[in-house]
Amino acid sequence: MDFNSFIILRQEILLLAITLGLVVGEIFIPKNKKRYIVHLALFLFGIHTIVGFCNIEESSLFGGMFRTNNMIHLFKNILNVGVFVLLLQSADWIQEKVIGQNKGTEFFILMFSSLLGMYFMISSGDFLMFFIGLELSTLPVAALVALETSKRISSEAGVKFILSAGLATGVSLFGISLLYAATGSIYYNDVMTTLTSNNLTLLGSILFFSGLAFKISLVPFHFWTADVYEGAPISTASYLSVISKGAAVFILMILLFTVLKPLMHIWQTIIYVIAVATMFIGNLFALRQQNMKRFLAFSSIAQAGFILLGLISGTQLGTATIVYFVLIYIFSNLAAFGVVQAISLQTGKENRDDYNGLYRTNPNLSLVMMLALFSLAGIPPVAGFFGKFFLFAAAASKGYYFLVFLAVVNVTISLYYYLLVIRAMFIRKSEDPIPFFKSKIYMRLGLIIAVIGILVLGLYSPLYDYIFELSTIFNK
């Protein structure tokens, strides 16, 4: 390894250094000073996020196992910003609840390891690296889900997650082995050139697809989602629905658009069916949810269905709109989870009915929530509208008008349950509303960044143009 390799790998190396630094810190920081670890971790990760914005050249390492280019780099940056906002929103919770149980450092170590796995996953140049990344990104999350060991529901969610994840990755690995059997290589470039459409490759790619479908929680791999979100700490649920899903969508897109391109006509049909099923099941199940975490879980399943509309086009427009939508989705969902987190931390309440009359006591939190939900529902002028419109345009550009029609029916259904939350906050009155409270500085900062993202991303168009230009990389 020469110096240049370090430059190419700098995101990964820096994150690994931070993780290891925290391990060392855990040993040397005395017990009564443990709460400083939160500030330290936030500071280090903030620097890591900023350093990430430096430019990178297109290159590959380890004989093509690891590769990077501007698009992959951009996506790592998106994940970094997402995790940073998430950490800001979780800081108070960690200080108040987790440090006391002596698990503060573990939280950061686990989350950073998982993020490292995602880096490797989206930078992978062959299926081996991909699989290592997938495992590294999934396993720590199981521990994060079960972080609140004192709660039975949290441990239960951890077990559910690890069992379903194990099954999904196992199936995925079997799919990879079939693809290897058919093409004789695990390198993306070789597979792409030798892949032909036959039963073996078809079976292989479908099985392989299931592992990622599990992470994105597409129907029929969505059964774990609601239970795990409900049981997990809110920070973990937020991480699962935002970061984990975003990374999985990104690598799925790369693989479908490059490696599996020869099978395009087949996977387009599969995606069509899964998109319809995911949108309808996610939306219809979200209608009756009372618990905010379960509600956001089904909402995020439905959103994944919308993302598939960009995927189905298989064009540069599709790539650009997906990345743009995921970016917007990350900010919108972080804002929504942030508000749930703030309220849950202050009052322990997580049900929709508890939000009745929230606007009259906590107007700012309610407004943040409203913007986040409008963005998820796709109502202008907030960013979600632009994200959805462009996704639908990507599908329509290939003539999938009926699919777009089904999607807009789903947008209307989803509007209903988003409005239910807005109704609770703004219209309903409560005998016993959540009293006024002021969140701490980190939480406020986390929410403000998310809101700025929601407002700016849509109206500021050069950003989309930038993503569009970068997306030529995967659509040669």
Partner 1 sequence: MDILSLFVIVPVLTILALVFTKDLKQARITAMIGSLVQLGMAIHLIFSYFEERAVNKSIMLFTQDRVWFEHFNIHFATGVDGISAALLLLTSIIVLAGVFISWKIDDLPKEFFISLLVLATGVYGFFISIDLFTMFVFYEIAVIPMYLLIGIWGSGPKEYSAMKLTLMLMGASAVLLVGILGIYFNSNANGGALTFNILEISKVYIPFVAQKLFFPLTFIGFAVLGALFPFHTWSPDGHASAPTAVSMLHAGVLMKLGGYGIFRIAMFLLPEGAKEWSWFFIILSAIGVIYGAFGALKQTDLKYINAYSSVSHLGMVLFALLMLNKTAWNGAILQSLSHGFMTALFFALIGMIYGRTHTRDITKLGGLLKVIPFISVINVIAGLASLGLPGFSGFVAEMNIFVGAFQHDELFYRVATIISVSAIVVTAVYILRVLGIMLMGPINNAEFLDLPKTTWYEITGILLLLIPMIGMGVAPLWLSDMIMASIQPFIKGVLKF
Residues that bind partner 1 (CB under 8 A): 320, 374, 379-381, 385-386, 389-390, 392-393, 396-397, 401, 404-405, 408-409, 411-412, 415-416, 419, 422-423, 426-427, 461, 464-465, 468
Q: Which tokens in the block code for residue 45?
A: 């990760």
* 351: β partners: 291
User: Rounded to the nearest whole angstrom, what is the least distance from the CB of residue 385 to partner 1 in the complex?
Assistant: 7
3-state secondary structure of 290: coil
- 379 C-beta neighbours (distance < 10 Å), count: 17
Max Cα-Cα span within the chain: 68
Nearer residue to partner 1 within complex by CB, 116 or 382: 382
Nearer residue to partner 1 within complex by CB, 423 or 440: 423
Taking phi first (over 0 means left), then psi (-120 to 50 degrees means alpha), and beta for anything else, what does residue 66 get? beta
Nearer residue to partner 1 within complex by CB, 408 or 441: 408
Nearer residue to partner 1 within complex by CB, 403 or 434: 403
Preceding omega of 381 cis (within 30 degrees of 0): yes
Q: Which tokens in the block code for residue 81?
A: 């910003």
* Contact criterion met (CB below 8 Å) for 190 and 65: no
Q: Give the chain's end-to-end CA distance (angstroms, integer).
A: 30
User: Rounded to the nearest whole angstrom, what is the least distance from the CB of residue 407 to partner 1 in the complex?
Assistant: 9
Nearer residue to partner 1 within complex by CB, 93 or 426: 426
3-state helix, strand, coil in the chain (%, to 5): 80, 0, 15
3-state secondary structure of 57: coil
AA identity, residue 90: S
AA identity, residue 27: I
Nearer residue to partner 1 within complex by CB, 266 or 463: 463
* 291: β partners: 351
User: Rounded to the nearest whole angstrom, what is the least distance from the CB of residue 286 to partner 1 in the complex?
Assistant: 15
- Rounded distance between C-alpha atoms, residue 169 and residue 243, angstroms: 18
Residue with structure tokens 């508890």?
A: 354
User: Rounded to the nearest whole angstrom, what is the least distance from the CB of residue 126 to partner 1 in the complex?
Assistant: 32
Q: What are the C-alpha distances in Å from 121 to residues 128, 246, 363?
A: 10, 12, 41
Q: Which of 291, 212, 283 is nearest to 253 (CA)?
A: 212
Nearer residue to partner 1 within complex by CB, 170 or 363: 363
* 67: β partners: 60
Q: What are the C-alpha distances in Å from 166 to residues 63, 113, 199, 414?
A: 29, 18, 25, 31
User: Rounded to the nearest whole angstrom, what is the least distance from the CB of residue 192 to partner 1 in the complex?
Assistant: 27
User: Rounded to the nearest whole angstrom, what is the least distance from the CB of residue 409 to partner 1 in the complex?
Assistant: 7
Nearer residue to partner 1 within complex by CB, 133 or 357: 357
Nearer residue to partner 1 within complex by CB, 14 or 419: 419
Per DSSP, helices labelled H in 256-357 are: 264-286, 292-311, 316-347
User: Rounded to the nearest whole angstrom, what is the least distance from the CB of residue 315 to partner 1 in the complex?
Assistant: 12
User: Rounded to the nearest whole angstrom, what is the least distance from the CB of residue 104 to partner 1 in the complex?
Assistant: 39
Nearer residue to partner 1 within complex by CB, 43 or 405: 405
Nearer residue to partner 1 within complex by CB, 41 or 415: 415
- Rounded distance between C-alpha atoms, residue 128 and residue 247, angstroms: 17
* Contact criterion met (CB below 8 Å) for 282 and 294: no
User: Rounded to the nearest whole angstrom, what is the least distance from the CB of residue 448 to partner 1 in the complex?
Assistant: 16
Nearer residue to partner 1 within complex by CB, 203 or 404: 404
Q: Which of 339, 356, 311, 359 is nearest to 446 (CA)?
A: 339
User: Rounded to the nearest whole angstrom, what is the least distance from the CB of residue 76 to partner 1 in the complex?
Assistant: 24
Q: Which of 121, 311, 310, 276 is nearest to 211 (CA)?
A: 121
User: Rounded to the nearest whole angstrom, what is the least distance from the CB of residue 369 to partner 1 in the complex?
Assistant: 13
User: Rounded to the nearest whole angstrom, what is the least distance from the CB of residue 392 to partner 1 in the complex?
Assistant: 6
- Rounded distance between C-alpha atoms, residue 88 and residue 437, angstroms: 18
